[in-house]
């Protein structure tokens, strides 16, 4: 083996294993809540349900949770932040959060939880 070939082989072997591993993007679920009542129970149930379906937080799924702390005027800013983060889906809990998410994006799918009158509020066209 020539000296140059040996040096090249050693350089490749010295590369960190991370460089060899194929980077897989973990899907991010954006969660938008008004925060009144506090979303702790909803988030626990939601994460547990996904865990039971095989999702492992930090490995096969990630969450970006934004709570307005009961202040609806903050929801639009938080929905826009989730859009900037390029989350894969937005789960909006309650009617104000759903309205803010719908106003922030036309590209990211939105799942409504606890939204009142989805047709009357213009969230969907029909059932």
Q: Total structural domains in the chain? A: 1
**pLDDT > 50? residue 23:** yes
CA distances from 45 to 37, 49, 59, 75 (A): 15, 6, 19, 22
Residue 109 lies in a domain: yes
Residue 42 lies in a domain: yes
pTM of the model: 0.79
Domain residues for 107? 24-113
Residue 49 lies in a domain: yes
Residue 11 lies in a domain: no
- pLDDT band, very low/low/confident/very high, at 6 (cuts 50, 70, 90): very low
Closest CA to 98 of 31, 2, 53, 3: 31
Sheet with 28-33: list strands edge to edge: 62-67, 28-33, 89-93, 110-113
Residue 30 near residue 66, CB atoms below 8 Å: yes
Q: What pLDDT does residue 90 have? A: 97
Q: 55-101, pLDDT tens digit by residue? A: 999 999 999 999 999 999 999 999 999 999 999 999 999 999 999 99
Residue 81 lies in a domain: yes
In the chain, % of residues over pLDDT 90: 69
User: How far, in Å, CA of 3 to CA of 127, rounded?
Assistant: 71
Residue 123 lies in a domain: no
Residue 15 lies in a domain: no
What CATH number does the domain containing 98 carry? 3.40.50.2300
**13-24: average pLDDT:** 54
**Locus of tokens 């104000």:** 96
User: How far, in Å, CA of 111 to CA of 55, rounded?
Assistant: 18
């Amino acid at each position: 083996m020539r000296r140059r070939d040996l040096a090249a082989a050693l350089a490749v072997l010295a590369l960190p294993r991370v460089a060899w591993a194929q980077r897989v993007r973990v899907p991010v679920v954006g969660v938008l809540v008004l925060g009144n009542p506090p979303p702790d129970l909803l988030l626990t149930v939601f994460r547990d349900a996904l865990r039971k379906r095989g999702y492992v937080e930090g490995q096969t799924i990630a969450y970006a949770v934004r709570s307005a702390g009961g202040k609806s005027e903050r929801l639009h800013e938080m929905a826009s932040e989730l859009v900037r983060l390029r989350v894969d889906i937005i789960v909006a809990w309650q009617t104000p959060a759903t309205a803010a998410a719908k106003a922030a994006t036309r590209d990211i799918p939105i799942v409504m939880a606890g939204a009142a009158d989805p047709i009357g509020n213009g969230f969907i066209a029909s059932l």
